[in-house]
Each structure stands twice: as C-alpha cells, then as structure tokens.
Structure 1
Amino acid sequence: MLKPDTFALTAVLAFLTALGPLSTDMYLPSLPMIAAALQATSAEVQLTLSTFLLGFAVGQFFYGPVSDRVGRKPVLLFGLGLFILASFACALAPSIETLIGARFLQALGASGPIVLGRAIVRDLYDGARAGKELSRMGTIMGVVPALAPVLGGVLGVAFGWRASFVLTIVCGLMLAAIVILRLPETIRTRSTTPISLPAMLRGFAELLKHRGYRVYVGLAMLTYGGLFAFISGSSFVLQGVYGLSELAFAFSFAFVVIGYILGTALAQRLVGRRGLDGTVKLGAICLAAGGGLMLALVGFGVPSSLAVSAPMAIYGIGVGLTMPQAMAAAMMPFPDRAGAASSLLGICQMTFAALLGIGLGRFLDIGSALPLPIAIAGTGLAALTLFATTGRVRG
C-alpha cells in the first residue's frame, strides 16, 4: 500500500488531480479543428471548456461531503468510473452539442479525484506541511499541462481530434487500477452528518461563516480564473491572431506551464520559512505583474506571440506560489470536514472560472488579442488587492 511522506503517494495524488488539466489542455490545439469538423463557431467550441468547468463545480458539490461520511476510496472510484465512461462519449461525439454534454459528464467524474486528492492531503498533513505537499503535487502535476498540449497537437495532426479523448480513457483506467490495488483509506473520523441536500447546504453555510476561509477561497478563485481565461482563450488568440500552428501553440503553452512548475518548486522552498501567507503574498505580486505586463504589451501592439506567453509565464509562477497555499490555508481550520471544505472551494473556483470563460468567449471572434490580457490582468490585480486588504481577517 502507498504510505504517507513517500514520493509514490504524492505522485498518485498529483496525477489524480491532473485529470482535470489533462482533460482540458490536451485537446486545446485541436479546438480550431473541432470547430471545422463539427461545423461549430469559436464560441460554441469554447463552451466545451466552460461547460467542463460548470460540471466540475456541480460534481464537487457532492464528492466532499459524501466522502466525509462513507470514506475517500469508494467515492474516488465512482468518480473515475464516470470519467472513463464520459470520455468514451466525448471520443464518439457526432456533433458539437453532444460533445458539450459529454464534456459536462466527463467533468462530473473528473471533479471527484481533485476534491478527494486535496481532502486526502488534509487527512494526512497539517498547516505548512499540507501546503508543501500540495506544492509538491503541483510540481508533478505541472508535467501534465506542459506535455499535454504537445501530445495533443501531435495526436491531432496524426489521428484527428478524437485521439486525445481516447488517451484520457487509457489514463483513467490506469489510475483506477492503482486506486483499487494500492491506495489505502485515509479518513480518520467519518462524519455523522446525514447525506442530504439540506445537510450539505447547511454545512457549506457553516464553512462560509469563517472569514479566513472566505478570503482564501477568493484568492483561489481569482488565481484560477486568470489561468482558465488563458486556457480557454489562448488557442484562438495565439493561433488566430498571431498565426501559430498547432504544434507551435502547444510549445508556447508548455512555456507558460514551466512558469507554474517553477512557482510550485519555489513554494516548496519558501513555505517552511515564510509560512503560507508569506508565500501567497509573493504569488499575488507575480499574478498582478504578469497580467499587467501582458495588458501593456498587447495594448501597445507588440506583434510577437511572446507578448502573451512570456507575461503568462510570470502569471504561472504566481499560480504555483498562490494556489496550493491558499487551498491549504482554507482547509486548515476544518480537519473534520476536509472533504466539504475542499468541495466548496472547488465549487467557487470552477464556477467563477467558467463564468469568466463564457464571458471571454463572447469576445474571441473580434480578431483582437486584447480581451484575453484584460481578463488576466483583472484577476491578477484583484487577487493582489484582496490579499493586501485582508491582513486582519487572515491573521
């Protein structure tokens, strides 16, 4: 069995939480190809991303509270099973409407592993150690969004856009086998709260009464919102406005992910000395700096795609520094409700990102790159402002 404080357990949890990024990033280079093949508009294809985020939010509503009651492992296996079946539907989708619906179901499944991966970390670790573990997971998980667009681009050119979904099926099956054979149950004390919608809502309301929890959830929302704006809009901007090929876009996207990996690696070194808040502060500065620089470069008409990808790498460093620590800080006061705290955090985070992505999608067909840096700069500056104005609440 996998044991705490081992690389093997960290790697398994990292790849479980990477199912979401894998399901989005790998098919990004093929979005224009999907639009052509299914005779869809850019906004309709972008809905396959935003609908995925909405499905993520809906799924996270249930996984955490249910796992607090019945255990992490059986709920995790249910999520993986749903993910695998929905990935089959995505691979076989005959129309954009079918693909949008299948992506929603795929997200319902993929949301389980990410909620339960965070909850398992809270089951096993406390405080800064939990933040360090989430950062370690982020470093490993960062390999997925770094390689996924490149792999997706190669698969798209060689076999068509459906090949990316076939590979997600294989990954889901492999992870399910590892969970069945090697992952132990980690929950220490099972919740006695009944599994019902009113009980879940009451539990979420109790969590939201904690002012510090609200702040850290807000930081996670804004941080991921800017990242998702780039995920959902970058293929249209970098390929449509700057003229990059599918593979050139994939490598440009991977360059951005390197920033995220660097941020998580820095967080592992800094969180022990500076604490959760000290690390988040540096991350929020990077978020604002990256977003602001991108807006300035695009606004002044710099013709290179580096005007988008280079500042986004700085934003990526901010994501790696901010998000794992904000998540750990949000869940820290609730050791007996780690699943519910993780669920509500995910609901808020994904709903905000999905709504931001839908709004951004309405402006992607105007032939300008400017809507993308406006969204990213807005979230970065808002995150820094939130952190700077809530010192007493966090303290």
Structure 2
Amino acid sequence: MLKPDTLALTIVLALLTALGPLSTDMYLPSLPAIAASFGATTGQAQLTLSAFLFGFAAGQFFYGPISDRIGRKPVLLFGLGLFTLASLVCALASSIEMLVGARFLQALGASGPIVLGRAIVRDFYEGPRAGRELSRMGTIMGVVPAIAPVFGGLIAQFSGWRMTFAVMILCGAALAATVVLRLPESIRTKSDAPISFGSILRGFGVLLKHPAYRVYVMLSMLTYGGLFAFISGSSFVLQGIYGLDELAFAFSFAFMVVGFIAGTSLAQRLVGLYGLDGTIRFGVSSLAAGGVAMLVLVASGVASSLAITMPMAVYALGVGLTMPQSMASALMPFPTRAGAASSLLGICQMTFAAILGVVLGQNLGASALPLPAAIATTGVLALAVFLSTARARASKV
C-alpha cells in the first residue's frame, strides 16, 4: 500500500488530479478538426470544453460530502468508472451535440479524482506541509499538459481525433486499477452528517461563512479562470490567427506548461521561507504582470505568436505559485470537512472558468484581443483581491 510522505503516493495523487487537464489538453489540437468533422462553428466546438467545465463543477457538488461520510476510496472508484465509460461515448460520438453531452458526463467522472486528491492531501498533511505537497503534485501534474498537446497533435495528424478519447479510456482504467490495489483509505474520522441535497447545501453555507475561505476560493477562481481562458481559446487564436499547425501549436502550448512547472517547483522552496500567503503574494504579482504584458503586446499589433505564449508563461508561473497555496489555505480550517471544502472550492472555480470560457468563445473571431483581455482581467483582479483582504486572510487558522 502507498504511504504518506512517499514519492509514490505523491505521483498517484498527482495523476488523479491530472485526469481533468489530460481530458482537455490532449484534444486541444483537434478542436478545429472536430469542428470541421461535424460541420460545427468555433463556438459549438468550444462548447465541448465549456460543457466539460460545467460537468466538472456539477460533479464536485457531491463527491466531497459523500466521501466525508463513506470514505474516499469507493467514491473515487465511482468517478473513475464514470470517466472511463463517458470517454468511450466521446470516441463514438456521431454529432457535435452528442460529443458535448458526453464531455459533460466525462467531466462528472473526472471531477471526483481532483476533489478527492485534494481531500486526501488534507487527510494526511496540514498547513505549509499540505501546500508543499500540493505544489509537488503540481510539478508532477505539469508534465501531463506538457506532453498531452504534443501527443494529441500527433494523434490528430496520424490517427484522427477519436483516438485521443481511446487513450483517455486506457488512462481511466489504469488509475482505477491502481486505486483498487495500492491506495489506502485516508479518512480518519467519517462525518455523521446525513447525505442529502439540503444537508450538503447547509454544509456549504457553513464553509462560506468563514471569511478566509471565501478569499482563498476567490483567488483560486480568478487564477484558474485566466488559465482556462488560455486553454479554451489558444487553439483558435494560435492556429486560426497566427497560422500555427497542430504540432506547432502543441509546442507553443508548452511555454505555459513550463511556466506552471517552474511556479510549482519554486513554491516548494518559497512556502518554507515566506509561508502560504507570502508565496501567494509572489504568485498574484506574476498573474497580473503576465496578463497585462500579453494585453499590451497584442493591442500593440505584435504579429508573432510569442506575444501570446511568452506572457502566458509568466501568468502560468503565477498559477503555480498561487493555486496550490490558495487551496491549502482554504482547506486548512476544516480538517473534518476537507471533502466538502474541496468540493465547494472546485464548484466555484470550475463554474467561473466555464462561464468565462463561454463568453470568450462567443467573442473570438478575427482578432486575438479578447484572449489577452480575459487573462489580464483575471490576473489584475487576483492581485487586487489579495492586497485588499489581509484581515480576512488572517482568520484562516
């Protein structure tokens, strides 16, 4: 069995939380081909991403509270099973509407591993140690979005977009087998709260009364919102406006991934020196700097795709510094409700990102400007939220 404070457990938890990014990043190079295959518009194809985010948010409503009651492992296996089955439906989709619906179901399954991965970290670790573990997971997890678009680009060129979902089926099955054979049950004391829609909502209400929790959830929302704006809009901007092919786009996408990995790696050192909030301060500054730089370069008419990808690397550095520490800080006050706290954080994060993705998809066209405008807005707002909430953040312990 896997044990706490081992690299093996960190890798497994990282792969569980990477299932969502894998499900989006690997098929990003295929989005234009998917649109062409079904005769769909750019907005319709982008809905396969936004539907995933809405499903991701909806699924997180139940996974955390139920796992607080019956344990992490059985709920985790349910999510992996649903993800694998829905991936099969995606591979066999005969229309864009069917693919959108299947992506929603796929996300319902994928939301379980990411919620429960964070909850398992809180079960085993506390405070800065939890933040450091989430950063370690982020470093490992960052390899997935680095490899996934390149792999997806190769599949798109040589095997067609449906094969990407076949790979997702294999990933879901492999992770389920690992959970069954190697992952221990992590929850120490199970909740005695009844499982019902009303009780879950009341539990979420208790969480939202905590001022520090609200702040860290807001920081996670804004940070991920800018990241998802790039994920959902970059293939259309970099391929459609800057003329990159599938493989060139995949390698350009790697700028963002390298920035994220650098941020999570740096965070593991900074959190020991400056604490959770000190690390977040560096992160939100990087978010704002990257977003504003991208907006200025694109608005100035710089014709190179580097006007998008280089500032995005700076923004992604901020994501790696901000998001793991914000998540750890949000969960810290709730050792017996880690699942519910993780669920609500994910719901807010994914709902905001999905709405932003829909708005962005409706505005993308002949100009690249909507993409940096969205990223700059989220970065600057994250910095403003952090600077204006010192008193609320002090109540996290």
Q: Aligned AA for 1:379?
A: T
Structure-to-structure mapping, 1:1-395, within 5 angstroms: 1-365=1-365, 367-395=366-394
Q: Quick one: distance in 2 between partners of 1:170 and 1:109?
A: 15
Q: Aligned AA for 1:374?
A: A
Percent identity, aligned pairs only, is: 73
Q: Quick one: distance in 2 between partners of 1:235 and 1:364?
A: 11
Per-residue CA distance 1:134-174 (angstroms, 9 max, x = gap): 00000000000011000000011010001111000001111
Q: Aligned AA for 2:187?
A: I
Q: Aligned AA for 1:372?
A: L
Q: Quick one: distance in 1 between partners of 2:103 and 2:329?
A: 31
Q: Quick one: distance in 2 between partners of 1:275 and 1:131?
A: 9
Q: Aligned AA for 2:138?
A: G
**Alpha carbons 2:255, 2:312 under 8 Å: kept:** no
- Secondary structure (helix, strand or coil) at the match of 1:85 reads helix
TM-score, L = length of structure 1: 1.00
Q: Quick one: distance in 1 between partners of 2:236 and 2:155?
A: 19
Following TM superposition, by how much is the alpha carbon of 1:256 offset from its aligned partner in structure 2, in angstroms? 1.2
Q: Quick one: distance in 2 between partners of 1:148 and 1:254?
A: 10
Q: Quick one: distance in 1 between partners of 2:232 and 2:178?
A: 31
Following TM superposition, by how much is the alpha carbon of 1:14 offset from its aligned partner in structure 2, in angstroms? 0.1
Q: Aligned AA for 1:153?
A: G
Q: Quick one: distance in 2 between partners of 1:145 and 1:254?
A: 8
- Secondary structure (helix, strand or coil) at the match of 1:336 reads coil
- Secondary structure (helix, strand or coil) at the match of 1:335 reads coil
- Secondary structure (helix, strand or coil) at the match of 2:376 reads helix
Q: Aligned AA for 2:247?
A: L
Flag structure 1 segments of 5+ consecutive residues without an equivalent: none
Per-residue CA distance 1:251-298 (angstroms, 9 max, x = gap): 000121000000000000110110000000000000000000000000
Q: Quick one: distance in 2 between partners of 1:210 and 1:292?
A: 32
Per-residue CA distance 1:90-134 (angstroms, 9 max, x = gap): 000010000000000000000000000000000000000000000
Q: Quick one: distance in 2 between partners of 1:32 and 1:142?
A: 24
Q: Quick one: distance in 1 between partners of 2:298 and 2:94?
A: 37
Following TM superposition, by how much is the alpha carbon of 1:205 offset from its aligned partner in structure 2, in angstroms? 0.2
Q: Quick one: distance in 1 between partners of 2:248 and 2:255?
A: 11
Per-residue CA distance 1:170-213 (angstroms, 9 max, x = gap): 01111000000000000000000000000000000000000000
Following TM superposition, by how much is the alpha carbon of 1:337 offset from its aligned partner in structure 2, in angstroms? 0.1
TM-score, L = length of structure 2: 0.99
Flag structure 2 segments of 5+ consecutive residues without an equivalent: none
**Count of residues in correspondence between the two structures:** 394
Q: Quick one: distance in 1 between partners of 2:162 and 2:7?
A: 33
Per-residue CA distance 1:54-92 (angstroms, 9 max, x = gap): 000000000000000000000000000000000000000
Per-residue CA distance 1:288-344 (angstroms, 9 max, x = gap): 000000000000000000000000000000000000000000000000000000000
Q: Quick one: distance in 1 between partners of 2:164 and 2:18?
A: 15
Q: Aligned AA for 2:392?
A: V
- Secondary structure (helix, strand or coil) at the match of 2:191 reads coil
**Alpha carbons 2:138, 2:264 under 8 Å: kept:** yes
Q: Aligned AA for 1:217?
A: V
Q: Quick one: distance in 2 between partners of 1:158 and 1:3?
A: 41
Q: Quick one: distance in 1 between partners of 2:38 and 2:13?
A: 35
Q: Quick one: distance in 2 between partners of 1:256 and 1:334?
A: 32
